[in-house]
Chains A and B, each alone.
Chain A
Amino acid sequence: MTAILEIKDLKAGHSGLEILKGISLKIEAGEVHAIMGPNGSGKSTLSKIVAGHPDYQVISGEILFHGKNLLDLPADQRARLGIFLGFQYPVEIPGVNNSEFLRMAYNSRRKEKGLEELDPFDFQELLTEKMQFLEVDDRFRNRGVNEGFSGGEKKRNEILQMAVLEPSLAILDETDSGLDVDALKIVSKGINALRKPDNAILLITHYQRLLDYVQPDFVHVLAQGRILKSGGKDLALEVETRGYDWLTAVA
């Protein structure tokens, strides 16, 4: 079976600076991978490269999504194919209604699949169900996208969007940062609910804490633009105890 995401010897960067110096990673359906690493290791760069951020450039290597080359596709096309990026810092977009925006996003994905678009009424029902599951306050429905939301509310809104869009691959870039324990539990509930045999999740995190709630199948340590070590859940615990120095020293 074809992997959901396959990255082959990826070198990439930003503004002429090489940040990722040869990354290879294969994520199969049903798997949850976690990427950990110190600040500046290239974790966020990797997420932006996969999502298709126009400011980041691929120098060499390949990214295949369900066996299809992603690199020539713009960000919106990648999203419609089923890639979701949960932002580390979700932007505020005053004046763009949260639920209306989500409906447009949802329908763009349905259209891509050749399905009929959902009308506003039916979509509101779907949204209500997801909002209740993730304990999102109803007043967020008609606010501007992330407008005036607290840090935790923005992250929860990212998870709500993910729950509505049901991506094939969710990349969550430090979704756990800035969350208190209660919010972390709800966010984890949302991530675990997405976990299905036919999709995959890539968690990017700085701390082991999230992994107590979302059990990863694989853990990778990224530092200095390279994956230095891969392992199971135990690797995350080891990093928690020993820090990153022992790995970077080996490198």
Chain B
Amino acid sequence: MTAVAETSPPQFMRKAPVPEIPETLLSAFESIPELPAASAVRSAAWKSFFDRGLPRTNDEDYSFTSISEIKSLLSRNPQSSDLDSQSGFQFQTVTGIEAFSLNSSSTPEALVSAWKNAAVEEQDVASSLAMALSPQLNALRLKAGTHLEQPFPIVCKSNGERTDAALFFRFEAGSSAKVTFDSAPLAPVGGMGGGYLNASAVFRLGANAELDFAQIDPAEGAQTLKLHFILEKGAKLRFLSSSTGSRFQRLAVEVDLLDPDAEVDLRGAAVIGGSNRCHRHILIHHHAPDCVSRQLFKAVVLGSGRSSVDGTVIVDRGAQHTDAKQLLRHLMLSKEGRADSKPRLFIHADDVKCGHGATVGKMDADQLFYLRSRGLDMESANSLLTHAFLGEALDASALTDFREAARIRLLTALEQKS
């Protein structure tokens, strides 16, 4: 079992005065019972958080996000561990998948240390807090060589003013799976206008493991979600994210391509209308040579909706023959809406193919005229072009049922908020 601090809390937790760290968080962390495996992850996560503190003005990672709002959400009083067990990650284990709770002592050491490492490296403070404060720490493992034919649904529920939830999922070598990730509608709470879910999930894919992953944001409440994928040699990830935004949504996706020949294809489709907001923060890190990464994020902005995509690709010095492409596109259907894109490449190797682009624009006038010149009225032509715009991001997912459900939700949002 991993070594855990014998005294609680460790020294770094209280370097008084700590004006940046709200008392609510300090006392919440201190009140969590010491349990060996869980504490290994929690302590590492808390240290990551403590070293960075809450987001500050001019924090690059929150360029397009309201700092005061995210600080206010992250400072809310965390739900204590003895509250109902209906919140947090929910799943039904199936043949081939083992589930562990880090609150018990049965979790294999390899899972605990892999999760702890991810917690040590975590740069996203919301995610660090989710790992540090989640009442449950769930770890899942798909056994080597297992192929899950049916999609494996993971649901993350929140119940109350704030829920922190954390999960670690290990896909062993040569396994393959389809996973859907759904955050259930958040219970409305008076005052702040809805519940808040802060969730973190780490997915580590072993050699040649393959994962098809699709995620949909909740339609209400506030959410900060971090999805971290770590790919070993030859592993492949296909990822779809869809969102209609809400009062506050921030999705952070981090992909570490640790070993050669790993491939990732990230796609996102969003329709952000009304006064909804949706922020996406993407980081793809090529650590090793011969890896491929693709990013295609598309969002339609209506009404006073606000969408931002902050996408970064880092290519390490040794990551030769990297093939990375990134395209962030916004379609603006209103004057009041706002879209921000920040495509960034940091390349430290000299023999790579990297491309990136970002567009923010209105409906293409030539395409519109072409359709109308064939008899389609303005509404049908607009709708056809909007569907086509989103389709490019949606169509590639192999999770057909989930993808079509997401499509319906996006198209419904288009109709309601246009």
Partners in one complex: yes
Q: Flag A160-178 by CB within 8 Å of B: 1 or 0 each.
A: 0100010000000000000
Residues of A within 8 A of B388 (CB): 93-96, 144
**Is B370 touching A105 in the complex (CB atoms < 8 A)?**
no
Complex Cα distance A144/B388, Å?
Answer: 9
| A161 and B387 in contact, given A53-B369, A54-B369, A93-B367 (Cβ under 8 angstroms) | no
Residues of B within 8 A of A165 (CB): 374-375
A181 at the interface (CB under 8 A from B): no
Complex Cα distance A161/B79, Å?
Answer: 62
* Closest CB in chain B relative to A79 CB, distance in Å: 4
Stretch at the interface among B338-346, B352-360, B377-385: B377-385
Which B residue's beta carbon lies closest to that of A51?
B373
B181 at the interface (CB under 8 A from A): no
Residues of B within 8 A of A133 (CB): none
* Closest CB in chain B relative to A204 CB, distance in Å: 15
Residues of B within 8 A of A105 (CB): 374-376
Q: Flag B107-134 by CB within 8 Å of A: 1 or 0 each.
A: 0000000000000000000000000000
Stretch at the interface among A62-70, A84-92, A119-127, A205-213: A84-92
* Closest CB in chain B relative to A102 CB, distance in Å: 8
Complex Cα distance A165/B376, Å?
Answer: 13
Interface range on chain B: under 10, 10 to 19, 20 to 34, or 35 or more? 20 to 34
Q: Which of A51, A55, A91, A104 contacts B380 (CB 8 A)?
A: A104
**Is A75 touching B385 in the complex (CB atoms < 8 A)?**
no
Q: Which of B369, B384, B392 contacts A75 (CB 8 A)?
A: B369
Complex Cα distance A109/B384, Å?
Answer: 17
Q: List residues of B (358-416) whose CB comes within 8 Å of A's CBs.
A: 364-367, 369-378, 380-381, 384-385, 387-389, 391-392, 395
**Is A76 touching B387 in the complex (CB atoms < 8 A)?**
no
Complex Cα distance A108/B374, Å?
Answer: 9
Q: Which of B365, B373, B391, B395 contacts A85 (CB 8 A)?
A: B373
* Closest CB in chain A relative to B6 CB, distance in Å: 60
Complex Cα distance A161/B373, Å?
Answer: 11
* Closest CB in chain B relative to A127 CB, distance in Å: 14
**Is A79 touching B373 in the complex (CB atoms < 8 A)?**
yes
Complex Cα distance A101/B377, Å?
Answer: 12
| A79 and B366 in contact, given A96-B384, A96-B385 (Cβ under 8 angstroms) | no
A80 at the interface (CB under 8 A from B): yes
Complex Cα distance A133/B378, Å?
Answer: 32
**Is B370 touching A76 in the complex (CB atoms < 8 A)?**
no
**Is B372 touching A74 in the complex (CB atoms < 8 A)?**
yes
* Closest CB in chain A relative to B299 CB, distance in Å: 15
| A80 and B389 in contact, given A93-B370, A96-B384 (Cβ under 8 angstroms) | no
**Is A91 touching B370 in the complex (CB atoms < 8 A)?**
yes
Complex Cα distance A94/B375, Å?
Answer: 19
Complex Cα distance A105/B377, Å?
Answer: 10
Residues of B within 8 A of A54 (CB): 365, 369
Q: Which of A76, A101, A104 has the most CB of B within 10 A?
A: A76
Which B residue's beta carbon lies closest to that of A145?
B370
Q: Which of B369, B370, B376, B392 contacts A104 (CB 8 A)?
A: B376
Residues of A within 8 A of B391 (CB): 95
**Is A76 touching B381 in the complex (CB atoms < 8 A)?**
yes
Which B residue's beta carbon lies closest to that of A107?
B375
**Is A93 touching B371 in the complex (CB atoms < 8 A)?**
yes
* Closest CB in chain A relative to B304 CB, distance in Å: 27
Residues of B within 8 A of A53 (CB): 369, 373
Complex Cα distance A85/B384, Å?
Answer: 20
Which B residue's beta carbon lies closest to that of A105?
B374
**Is A101 touching B384 in the complex (CB atoms < 8 A)?**
yes
Q: Which of A54, A84, A93, A145 has the most CB of B within 10 A?
A: A93
**Is B372 touching A95 in the complex (CB atoms < 8 A)?**
no
**Is A109 touching B392 in the complex (CB atoms < 8 A)?**
no
Q: Flag A101-119 by CB within 8 Å of B: 1 or 0 each.
A: 1101100110010000000
**Is B378 touching A76 in the complex (CB atoms < 8 A)?**
yes
Complex Cα distance A186/B388, Å?
Answer: 31
Q: Which of A55, A84, A90 contacts B370 (CB 8 A)?
A: A90
Q: Flag A27-55 by CB within 8 Å of B: 1 or 0 each.
A: 00000000000000000000000011111
**Is B374 touching A101 in the complex (CB atoms < 8 A)?**
yes
| A79 and B374 in contact, given A94-B392, A96-B385, A96-B388 (Cβ under 8 angstroms) | yes
Complex Cα distance A76/B385, Å?
Answer: 15
Q: List residues of A (172-224) whose CB comes within 8 Å of B's CBs.
A: none
Q: Which of A52, A55, A144, A161 contacts B374 (CB 8 A)?
A: A161
Complex Cα distance A74/B368, Å?
Answer: 12
Residues of B within 8 A of A80 (CB): 375
**Is B370 touching A108 in the complex (CB atoms < 8 A)?**
no
Complex Cα distance A109/B375, Å?
Answer: 7
* Closest CB in chain B relative to A246 CB, distance in Å: 35
* Closest CB in chain B relative to A160 CB, distance in Å: 12
**Is A101 touching B371 in the complex (CB atoms < 8 A)?**
yes
Complex Cα distance A125/B366, Å?
Answer: 30
Residues of A within 8 A of B380 (CB): 104, 108
| A79 and B375 in contact, given A95-B392, A104-B380 (Cβ under 8 angstroms) | yes
Complex Cα distance A76/B381, Å?
Answer: 10
* Closest CB in chain B relative to A84 CB, distance in Å: 8
Q: List 17 A-B residue pairs with CB atoms under 8 Å apart, sorted by A's residue number.
A: A54-B369, A76-B381, A79-B372, A79-B374, A84-B374, A93-B370, A94-B388, A95-B389, A95-B392, A95-B395, A96-B371, A96-B384, A96-B388, A102-B374, A104-B376, A108-B375, A108-B377
5 additional A-B pairs beyond A76-B376, A93-B370, beta carbons within 8 Å, are: A51-B373, A75-B369, A96-B384, A104-B375, A105-B375
Seen from chain B, the residues whose Cβ lies within 8 Å of a Cβ on chain A are 364-367, 369-378, 380-381, 384-385, 387-389, 391-392, 395
Seen from chain A, the residues whose Cβ lies within 8 Å of a Cβ on chain B are 51-55, 74-76, 79-80, 84-85, 87, 90-91, 93-96, 101-102, 104-105, 108-109, 112, 144-145, 161, 165
